[in-house]
Amino acid sequence: MEELDTVKKTAASKGSQYQLTGLAVVVGLLLAASIVSFWKFGSYLSPDTLSYLRIIHGFPNLLSSLSPFYPFLLAQPPLSYLPLFDKILVANLIAVGLSFWVVYKIALKAGKTFPWVLFSFGLSLLSWWSFRVLGSAHADSLFYALLVLWLYLFIWGDQRENHYFPAIAILSALLIWVKLNALFLFPFLLIWSLISRNKSWLLVALATLVSWACYQWTIPENILHFHVTQREGNGIWPALYLFYENLATWMQVTLGLIISDTLSQYIPRALAFALGVCWIGFLGVFLIFHQRKRENKLYSLLLFGSIYSLFFLTLQQWAGFREVNYRTLFPYLLVISWALWIVLIRNEKKRLLLVLAILIAGHTLIGHLLLWQRDRVASLTEAKSFHNSLLKDEISSLLTHKQVTIRTDHPEKLMLSFMDREVIPLDPAFRFVDGKNEAVSPTERKEEKEIALASVREGKEILVIFEPDSFWENVAENESLNALVEDGVLILVARNLPK
């Protein structure tokens, strides 16, 4: 019997080793793909990137929609000594490096399961949703990294150390200035102080509240103030439908952890809503009846994710917004994925862990492959390439009047090169409405083209079209306009620009 038990243990050990090797290969592939994507494209750009940089260059009014710490960081040494494009890239790399360093520190505390924790938690950082957040030239990237550090202190830190509570209090206060989503920490810390029966957490909550009060005093016209004060009451039925839509989308994003955010959108909304109600019910029951296991890391992670989701969905409901996606829910997605890995590792479900890792890696690698095949990407590399091109010089020579606006079908490519001007999208296929992209009808798109054309004729705008369609090709033949072609890009300007 003893020999049989020994044989079984040996077989189980070999099986576990094979599964760990498989997990290491999966994570290695994701790491390689992420490095290639980052090397090829650099940081992901968005309109907010331009706004953050404009804050540095004297546009404080933009703080009404953005938080100040990210541009403040970019304006401080040593980043301030770097050229524009390099400082964005270095700041991004610092955020990524900090996130992986913290995951390594977490894994060191896992003892014999060190490699499993390292690879599985690292897998979360390398997943497609995480890569798009961490790899962006945005405050989200910095917020992500600091939130990972906060979670490390909160769950794996030693509360007996003298500097523990001051450190986490300072970090909590700082997070408010990085992104106002951190306001959820205040109710979370109040609840945690009651559960843990440790009054020291009330001081951390107080530091968070004081930080918010200072923020509100310094920047009274902030994004939260806008959402709260501009809310319009639309009646009970629209409010109920908004709740239904947001909760269903929240569950779709949750399932997107495994099956991809793209595929999860095909889940019928009614089914997603029902699953969302069940998932909330499970989380509520688990958290209520397992309070005595508050020292359990799983409990802390699930409470964190639940409070963040509740806070965020409540804010969306109050503001009448529908901005529920992986970019707004990444703190929840991070802790839920970590909780999943902890459950599987503790219960020796290594094979299932590997299967889920392969599913996540599958859609993430597909995302990278599709990204590599795209001709144009809203990336730092493309923006830098344009900045050093003859096309940029040609456009600059046409901007003889300070009030002339640039309208283009690829604004992210141009915006960092013309920070002193308005760079607006030309003929967008989608419009951002109440937090979601909604398709623009063909009729509206035609009207937008006519408006843009009229502005060009009046000398108010110039058009830079990287992918001209038949409409703009016909316009280019109009004698009332100057049509220039530079490297396949169509530039339309009035014959007589204002001086």
The answer to whether 490 and 499 have CB atoms below 8 angstroms apart is: no
The answer to whether 303 and 335 have CB atoms below 8 angstroms apart is: no
Does one domain contain both 358 and 450? Answer: no
- DSSP for 23-36, written as a single string: HHHHHHHHHHHHHH
Distances (CA, A) of 308 to 79, 122, 153, 264, 451: 32, 22, 18, 21, 43
Q: What is the mean pLDDT of the chain?
A: 90
Domain assignment present for residue 275? The answer is yes
The answer to whether 102 and 148 have CB atoms below 8 angstroms apart is: yes
Domain assignment present for residue 336? The answer is yes
Does one domain contain both 132 and 268? Answer: yes
Amino acid 478: pLDDT: 75
Amino acid 400: pLDDT: 78
Domain assignment present for residue 29? The answer is yes
Radius of gyration of the chain measured on its C-alpha atoms = 25
Does one domain contain both 351 and 239? Answer: yes
Domain assignment present for residue 384? The answer is no
- The pTM of this model reads 0.93
Q: What is the Cα–Cα distance from 262 to 256, expressed in whole angstroms?
A: 7
Q: Which amino acid is at 416?
A: L
- Residue that is written with structure tokens 């397992």 in the block: 290
CB atoms within 10 A of CB 152: 17
Angle at 385 between CA 382 and CA 390, to 5 degrees: 130
Amino acid 5: pLDDT: 47
Amino acid 8: pLDDT: 43
The answer to whether 321 and 437 have CB atoms below 8 angstroms apart is: no
Amino acid 45: pLDDT: 92
Domain assignment present for residue 12? The answer is no
Does one domain contain both 314 and 456? Answer: no
- Which pair of structure tokens corresponds to residue 182? 């951190």
> pLDDT of 381-438, one tens digit each?
999 999 999 999 999 988 877 788 999 999 999 999 998 888 999 888 888 777 777 8
CB atoms within 10 A of CB 57: 10
Q: Which domain-ending residue is among 341, 373, 405?
A: 373
Domain assignment present for residue 356? The answer is yes
Domain assignment present for residue 378? The answer is no
Q: Which amino acid is at 182?
A: A
The three-state secondary structure class of 479 is: coil
Q: Which domain-ending residue is among 339, 373, 407?
A: 373
Does one domain contain both 364 and 272? Answer: yes
Helices and strands per DSSP (H, E), number in the chain: 22, 7
Does one domain contain both 225 and 134? Answer: yes
DSSP 380: H
Low-confidence residues in the chain, pLDDT < 50:
1, 4-5, 7-9, 11
- DSSP for 54-122, written as a single string: HHHTT-GGGGGTS-SHHHHHHTSTTGGGS-HHHHHHHHHHHHHHHHHHHHHHHHHTTGGGHHHHHHHHH
Does one domain contain both 340 and 400? Answer: no
Range of the domain at 400: 389-494
> pLDDT of 245-260, one tens digit each?
999 999 999 999 999 9
Domain assignment present for residue 6? The answer is no
Q: What is the number of structural domains in the chain?
A: 2
Does one domain contain both 234 and 326? Answer: yes
Does one domain contain both 133 and 260? Answer: yes
Does one domain contain both 462 and 335? Answer: no
Q: What is the Cα–Cα distance from 337 to 302, expressed in whole angstroms?
A: 10
Amino acid 398: pLDDT: 86
Q: What is the Cα–Cα distance from 374 to 333, expressed in whole angstroms?
A: 27
Environment class of residue 48 by beta-carbon count within 10 Å: exposed (0-12), middle (13-18) or buried (19+)? middle
Does one domain contain both 211 and 349? Answer: yes
- Which pair of structure tokens corresponds to residue 293? 């296991």
Does one domain contain both 60 and 156? Answer: yes
Q: What is the Cα–Cα distance from 271 to 274, expressed in whole angstroms?
A: 5
Q: What is the Cα–Cα distance from 255 to 74, expressed in whole angstroms?
A: 35
Contacts of 480 (CB under 8 A, 6+ apart): 457, 494, 495
405 Cα distance to chain centroid: 29
Distance, first Cα to last Cα, the chain = 96
Amino acid 476: pLDDT: 84
Instruction: Return the axis-axis angle of helices 297-319 and 330-346, rounded to nearest 10°.
Output: 160
Amino acid 431: pLDDT: 82
- Which pair of structure tokens corresponds to residue 230? 């501009």
Q: Which domain-ending residue is among 328, 349, 373?
A: 373
